[in-house]
């Protein structure tokens, strides 16, 4: 933005000197002014677009379909498609649109060394089963949703990604709206 502003200012100064002294370089001065104006306009448009189209609203909800790094996921994000392994990114979209699932827990496992597949699966399964009824305000075992989770692999753990993501999936297909606090899924 500063470069565009300086291009316009120096171009105007150069034009004034050229007019006063009759020296050459008028074309270069005009090019500097036009280039500076274009640079300023592009900068303003990019900033306006970024402000007008944030990835999340003031409540933290996703505002447009996008692919997020697993570290950027939040409870309540709606998932456009079931993640496949290895998971580093997830396609999300606003919950007001049709989606396949909803994230109801994001946590990070502790420990410096990978505890093994069985321990990771046990931890993740227990956590996701325990937290789904709380998210839905439903009786345990009566949610009507399938549980799907993303757990760290040996490779992701060694790379510092120890993230567990719990998703609820509709047994009858596509979901619309958030499932939080809605009780068991309708049949």
| pLDDT single digits (tens) 80-104 | 998 877 788 899 999 999 999 999 9
Please give the backbone phi and psi of residue 107, each rounded to the nearest 5 degrees, phi first: -145, 170
Q: Where are the domains of the chain?
A: 2-52, 66-170
Residue 183 to residue 180: CA distance in whole angstroms: 8
CB 147 within 8 A of CB 171: no
Kind and range of the H or E element at 111? none
Structural Rg of the chain based on CA atoms:
27
Q: Confidence class of residue 4 from pLDDT cuts 50, 70 and 90?
A: low
CB 15 within 8 A of CB 26: yes
| pLDDT single digits (tens) 36-81 | 888 888 877 776 665 545 577 888 889 889 988 888 999 999 999 9
Other residues' Cβ atoms within 10 Å of the Cβ of residue 42: 12
């Amino acid at each position: 933005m500063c470069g565009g502003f300086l291009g316009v200012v120096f171009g105007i100064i150069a034009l004034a000197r050229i007019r006063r002294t009759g020296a050459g370089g008028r074309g270069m001065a005009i090019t500097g002014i036009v280039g500076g104006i274009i640079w300023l306009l592009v900068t303003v448009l990019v900033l306006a677009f970024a402000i007008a189209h944030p990835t999340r609203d003031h409540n933290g909800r996703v505002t447009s379909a996008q692919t997020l790094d697993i570290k950027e996921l939040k409870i309540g994000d709606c998932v456009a498609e079931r993640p496949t392994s290895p998971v580093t990114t997830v396609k999300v979209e606003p919950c007001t649109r049709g989606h396949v699932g909803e994230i109801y827990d994001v946590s990070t496992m502790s420990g410096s060394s990978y505890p093994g597949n069985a321990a990771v699966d046990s931890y993740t399964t227990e956590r996701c089963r325990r937290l789904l009824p709380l998210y839905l305000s439903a009786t345990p075992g009566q949610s009507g949703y399938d549980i799907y989770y993303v757990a760290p692999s040996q490779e992701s753990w060694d790379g510092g990604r120890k993230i567990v993501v719990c998703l609820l999936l509709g047994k009858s297909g596509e979901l619309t709206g958030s499932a939080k606090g809605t009780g068991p899924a309708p049949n």
